Structure 1
Amino acid sequence: MVSLHFRLSRSVIALGVALTLATSAAAECTRESLLAVANSYLAAQTSGKTDGLKLAASNFTYQENNKKADIAKGLLSQPLKIDLNRSTADTVACASYSMFISSTGSKPYVVGTQIRYNGNDTSSIALIDTIHATTGDLFFNAKKTLDYIQKEDWTDLEASKRPSRDVLKKAGDAYLDMWTDAKAADTIPWGTDCERVEGSQYTRPCGGSLPRGGSAKPNGNRRYVIDEVVGSVDVLCSFDSLGNMPDSHEIRIQDGKVKYVHTITALGR
């Protein structure tokens, strides 16, 4: 009996140690952990080496411009000098969004990437989902885009002034709905000093020269990263209303009004 009790005790202890190790191996989905992985992604892009990324051993997907791709042959395999970058975090969806601009070199880029995980565990990446634009894409000029965006203020909002997830998602959806819904533009809380950067085209205020329906095909395949701390929503999508173009639309709301709009649109080649 004593021997049986001893063996059971050892088994219970071993199980407890195993559970502790499994728990410690997982990384809780916090703002800090999401942004840390986003930084490792940017470092990988700078070096052109992905061995520093903690990719899921199974069920990992790498996607460029809405198509599955080989990470070893994709944009991440190319070392790029990054002139500007910024990342946001969505602890509810356990996802991050990183935007960066590489304006020098033989092939400049403006890139938006969402990173996702299995469950709420940021210890391994399940999806790297990238929209990238380069020379020949819609309104593309990386140096002009850099000049506009580097002047923006993206400091965290005070807790009492942060828009809700619902408000942010509705703004992102309404923006993408403007091409199919004539009333969508009027539901967006435009700021009088809002700045819109579409590729390298600059518009201020944002509420001017907006589409009001006209297309029968909605912009679909929407993937969201919502960050209440900075008041932003990024939506990766297929810009189907104008012809199946891979697209990223990012919106920031400040003091209850839209402050910034960024778009990255590829031509789907």
Structure 2
Amino acid sequence: MMKLVATIASLLTLSQATSNREGLLASAQTYVTAQKTGNTSTLKLSPSFRYQQNNKERALSAGLLATPYALDLVRSTADTVACASYTMWISTSGGKPYVVGTQIRHENNTETISLIDTIAATTGDLFFDAKKTLGYIQKEDWTPINNTASIPSRELLRKVGDAYLDMWTDPKAADSIPWGTECERVEGSRYTSPCGKSLPRGGSSKPNGMRRYVIDEVQGSVDVLCQFDSLGTMPDSYEIRVIDGKVKYVHTITALNVG
């Protein structure tokens, strides 16, 4: 009987942790609208809502969302298991240019936002040049994977994301990643193709920590927000796309300044 109760509880937990993809993307769009207008009043925030920018908690009024930005590129992915989304946006005009990665988390539904978690890079950050980054990423193909046989598993995407972050501490991690022959890597504004060359193979004793994941099997993508502890304590976002079992795109957003 106790085993049956435990099984039912497990199933209920799994059910509650599954969200609607369209709803998650719609909620991500409300975040985009708030960023364009600098007005957060229409966001559906939970009573326990938190805002985090460059790995530090702060008030919404003290973050990027308090200022309107013209956005040159916006793209969102959805994680229906974690009830979360990831949005990348780039702004090259107006005041400060930005390249931003934001994870949004929900309280077991597709409307109430419990956390907006942002990594924001601007002038002076690692390899930063928003116009160059925009030029590279605009050329990418992010068409959803329609062939179900080609959709990578959640486990594979998580493994690839972790292996990428482990390259600085594990000499075998780089070679465990299934690099595509035409893979493109954009680190800040630094472009490398194919991805599998010029990679770190250990050397640091400090693993990259504070890992937070958004995994979208339909897009074949994983985004990991983290703290880059291997070479310091830099706020970081790593987004990787896998097509036909091979890594196609890698994006990194690294903030040297945590403000």
Q: Tell me how far 1:29 sits from its aligned partner.
A: 1.9
Q: Determine if contact 1:244/1:268 at 8 Å carries over to the other structure.
A: no
Matched, 1:232 2:221: yes
Residue equivalent to 1:95: 84
Structure 2 residue corresponding to 1:211, chosen from 200, 203, 219: 200
Q: CA deviation at 1:52?
A: 1.1
1:246 paired residue number: 235
Equivalences, count: 241
AA of the residue aligned to 2:116: I
Q: Percentage identity across aligned positions?
A: 70
User: What amino acid maps onto 1:149 in structure 2?
Assistant: I
Cα distance between partner residues in 1 of 2:213 and 2:257:
20
What's the counterpart of residue 130 of structure 2? 142
When the two structures are superposed, what TM-score results if normalisation uses the length of structure 1?
A: 0.88
Moved over 6 A (4+): none
Alpha carbons 2:24, 2:111 under 8 Å: kept: no
Distance 1:217 1:105 in 2: 38
| In 1: Cα distance, 2:54 partner to 2:36 partner | 20
Residue 68 of structure 1: aligned partner: 57
- Cα distance, 1:159 vs. partner? 1.5
Structure 2 unaligned segments of length 5 or more: list them: 1-15
- Rg larger in structure: 1
- Residue 142 of structure 2 corresponds to which residue in structure 1? 154
> Match of 2:24?
34
Which of 45, 51, 58 pairs up with 1:55?
45
Alignment RMSD, CA only?
Answer: 1.1
TM-aligned CA deviation for residue 106 of structure 1: 2.1
Shift of 1:268: 3.8
Q: Which amino acid aligns with 1:70?
A: A
How far 1:122 sits from its partner (Å)? 2.1
Counterpart Cα distance in 1 of 2:95 and 2:28 = 25
Q: Deviations over 1:187-241 (max 9, x none)?
A: 0000010000000000000000000000110000000000000100000000000
CA distance in 2, matches of 1:29, 1:188: 29
Contact 1:90–1:226 at 8 Å: present in 2 too? Answer: yes
The amino acid of 1:89's aligned partner reads: A
Unaligned runs of 5+ residues in structure 1 are: 1-25
Matched, 1:111 2:114: no
Q: Which residue of 2 aligns with 1:44?
A: 34
CA distance in 2 between counterparts of 1:171 and 1:133 reads 24
| SS of alignment partner, residue 72 of structure 1 | helix
In the alignment, structure 1 residue 84 sits paired with structure 2 residue 69:
no
Q: Deviations over 1:155-202 (max 9, x none)?
A: 011222100000000000000000000000010000010000000000
Deviation, 1:32, is 0.3
Partner of 1:200: 189
